[in-house]
Amino acid sequence: MDEPIVKDIMTSEVLSVTPDTPLQEVARILTENRIHGVPVVSEGVLAGVITETDFFTKDSSKIYLPSYIQFLKKTGISKGIRGTNRKAVDRLLEARARDIMSAPCKTVRESLSVRALIRLFKESELTFFPVTNDSGSLSGVVTVVDVFRSFDV
């Protein structure tokens, strides 16, 4: 029996966003589709990725940006903010995928063995990779969950 490769287990129907996609839309796509990451594609070329962890601010408060953005929009609190803080809130509400995406991003080839993919997941501590074909075009995504599903246990 041949060793399985990434192409055998990947998801080929890929949801993607553009660098100009509002962060609120990216968050909606991740949440509604119950996915952990999404490729960012510009003019047909992979420009980067956004994963759930990209939405957490890097400071100690551990604010989840989609919830914070939604809170600001729903409550209208942002309208009462003035001065420097107002500019910061406006920047947050106007943020786009390009503002938090990881670029360049690590990718894997369709022909990579699942065994090698598992090693990459362990070494990188990532849970999601965009998959490229031999010409370097985005052809799918593969997750740790895809690896688990590939085993008949």
What was the pLDDT predicted at 153? 54
Closest to 9 in 3D by CA, of 114, 89, 95:
114
Domain of 42, CATH number, reads 3.10.580.10
Residues ≥6 apart with Cβ < 8 Å to 59? none
What was the pLDDT predicted at 28? 83
Mean pLDDT of all residues belonging to the chain: 80
104, two tokens: 């360049």
In a domain, 64, yes or no: yes
Determine the Cα–Cα distance for residues 12 and 118; give it in Å rounded to an integer.
19
CB 96 within 8 A of CB 23: yes
Residues spanned by the domain of 84: 6-150
What is the tally of structural domains in the chain?
1
In a domain, 1, yes or no: no
Residues ≥6 apart with Cβ < 8 Å to 40? 16, 17, 18, 19, 21, 46, 47, 48, 49, 50, 97, 98, 101, 103
Per-residue pLDDT tens digits for 95-128: 889 988 988 889 999 999 999 999 999 999 888 8
What was the pLDDT predicted at 72? 56
